[in-house]
Amino acid sequence: MKNKLILLLALLGIGLFAVIQGWILPKKELAAEQYLADQQSPLTHDLQTILPYKNKYMGDVSNLNLFNHLPLKDLKRSYQLRSDEFAIEVHYEADELREDEKAIRQMLLYNSVAAFALIDNLQTIDYRFLDRTLTVSRSRIQQLFGDDLAALLTTEKWRANVQQKWQDARFLQEGVKALEEKQ
- Amino acid found at 7: L
So what's the pLDDT on residue 84? 93
Residue 96: what are its φ and ψ, rounded to 5°? Answer: -55, -25
**pLDDT tens, residue order, the chain (183 aa):** 778 778 777 777 777 777 677 776 667 677 656 666 666 789 899 999 999 999 998 877 788 889 999 999 988 999 999 999 999 999 998 765 666 888 899 999 999 999 999 999 999 999 998 888 999 999 999 999 999 999 999 999 999 999 999 999 999 999 999 999 886
Answer for the pair 73, 108: CB distance below 8 angstroms, yes or no: no
Closest by CA position to 157, among listed 171, 145, 142, 169: 145
Angstrom distance (rounded) from CA 95 to CA 101:
10
Alpha helices for 21-134 (secondary structure H): 25-38, 101-118
Angstrom distance (rounded) from CA 125 to CA 116:
9
So what's the pLDDT on residue 25? 63
So what's the pLDDT on residue 32? 57
So what's the pLDDT on residue 119? 96
So what's the pLDDT on residue 2? 79
